[in-house]
Amino acid sequence: MVGLLAIQGAFQDHLPHLQALGVPYRLVLSAGDLVGCDRLIIPGGESTVMNKFLRAYKLAGPIKDRIANGMAVWGICAGAIVLAEKVDDKTGPLGILEVGIRRNAYGRQLASKAVRLDIPILGRKQFEAIFIRAPRIVQWSEQILIHCRMGRDPVFVQQERIMATCFHPELTGDSVFHRFFMEL
């Protein structure tokens, strides 16, 4: 069962991909909603608001505990920020992905863009990656596998069963990222 964190952000954009793959999912609004989930998607959105809601709904601790006990998690854009150990040189909201991130590092909303990226691990050449107020991964530990870069910057990373993308694969018609996540 895939949990889809639904407290804030673009969680609905993941539904067509999960449905196309025939994957059962549940919207997560409380710690009880995590029961039975072996995976969690933390969608794009506004990381500051998402962090406030994680605290208000008392979800940060239960999510961290579930990840520590093996639940796979995927953070997209704001979700990557929520997972990061460091955000703008401060402790990240969940602090479990061994990366340092800069928020909005590629520019504000007007600087949003689509970039074609080669992603060998997914067998994709020229995947259209959509960057919207995207974070930049500026540091990472040796535990981080870098699956894709934009220039020199990692934009798709993995640490065991934790993955993060700085762009929005859910905004394309290609479910390849969701399929990869289901195999973690």
Catalytic residues: 77, 168, 170
* Cβ atoms of residues 179 and 170 within 8 Å: no
Alpha-carbon separation of residue 100 from 38, 68, 83, 90, 140 (angstroms): 26, 19, 10, 9, 6
Nearest to 178 by CA among 170, 147, 153, 168: 170
* Cβ atoms of residues 161 and 70 within 8 Å: yes
Q: Give the separation between CA 176 and CA 5, rounded to whole angstroms.
A: 20
CA atoms within 13 A on the CB side of 59: 25
Q: Give the separation between CA 74 and CA 157, rounded to whole angstroms.
A: 10
